[in-house]
């Protein structure tokens, strides 16, 4: 059984992947020995295995919103878990549309799924997966107390921050969001606040790489949080540790880990800020 911990499996903001760079967003949170997967960007399946999770032990997956960098590998994760021995039900919590995603994945993979049931004697995959819709307020999760808060991520309207609590430990995920003051109270006193962040000095460099630079920059400015604002949220909430993830940009020359750490130090000198990297582990109580 895994010890209680947070593992950052993917820390890049956005769906593109580049040689030597990090993977899109996904996390493993273990609370009192029970694993929770939060978001399923590309690389989540291998990341979970490398973090020590037996895929047959999947129990609860939560998807904050339906942007591809948060949901693209959900179906592949569940299918791979099934082919490696999953026999107990998995609950997927997600925004409206999560059932359509899952049903469409199963339809696309029907040939393989039906063949493996008949040829290998596997249990029906669809019988092992239960979809639940996230709404604001308390979530009925097994093993912990959990809450959801709708955040500001236009044009997406159904995007949810998540808070997980067990006695003596609390972890909050901002999801993708513009600076959102209600997160201050939502994250009040959290042991760890995992908050998305944007390095403003790198936005123009990022946008220059694509053909739709004007539209992309407008989206980033309207829908994401500069590092200084993420730090302000953490300070006002009294979070014991701020972990920056969904980093935009983080795989361009001149905007790597050192630049992120310098920006964090400048905005909160000596503050409890960690710039996330793929595979980073934060043990409970550390």
Give me the active site residues, please. Answer: 69
**Longest distance between any two alpha carbons in the chain, whole Å:** 61
- C-alpha torsion angle, residues 275, 68, 162, 130 (rounded to 10): -140
Give the torsion through C-alpha atoms of 31, 279, 48, 167, to 10 deg.
0
Q: What is the CA radius of gyration of the chain?
A: 19
Q: Which two tokens stand for residue 4?
A: 């209680």
- Concatenated DSSP letters for 184-212? HHHTTT-SEEEEEEE-HHHHHHHHTTSTT
């Amino acid at each position: 059984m895994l010890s209680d911990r947070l593992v950052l499996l993917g820390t890049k903001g956005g769906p593109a992947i580049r040689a030597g760079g990090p993977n899109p967003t996904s996390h493993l949170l273990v609370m009192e020995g029970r694993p929770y997967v939060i978001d399923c960007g590309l690389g989540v399946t291998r990341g979970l295995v490398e973090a020590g999770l037996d895929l047959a032990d999947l129990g609860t997956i939560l998807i904050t919103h339906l942007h591809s960098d948060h949901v693209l590998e959900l179906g592949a994760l569940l299918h791979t878990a099934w082919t490696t021995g999953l026999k107990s039900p998995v609950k997927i919590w997600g925004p409206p549309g999560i059932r359509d995603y899952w049903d469409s994945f199963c339809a696309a993979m029907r040939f393989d799924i039906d063949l493996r049931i008949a040829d290998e004697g596997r249990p029906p995959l669809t019988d092992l997966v239960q979809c639940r819709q996230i709404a604001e307020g308390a979530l009925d999760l097994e093993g912990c107390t959990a809450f959801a808060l709708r955040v500001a991520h236009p044009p997406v309207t159904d995007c949810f921050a998540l808070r997980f609590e067990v006695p003596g430990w609390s972890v909050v995920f901002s999801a993708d969001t513009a600076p959102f003051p209600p997160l201050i109270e939502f994250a009040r006193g959290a042991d760890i606040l995992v908050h998305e962040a944007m390095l403003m000095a790198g936005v123009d460099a990022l946008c220059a790489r694509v053909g739709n630079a004007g539209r992309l920059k407008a989206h980033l400015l309207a829908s994401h949080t500069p590092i200084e604002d993420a730090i302000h949220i953490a300070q006002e909430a009294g979070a014991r540790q701020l972990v920056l993830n969904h980093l935009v940009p983080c795989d361009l020359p001149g905007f790597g880990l050192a630049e992120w750490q310098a920006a964090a130090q400048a905005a909160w000198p000596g503050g409890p800020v960690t710039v996330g990297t793929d595979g980073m582990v934060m043990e409970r109580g550390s």
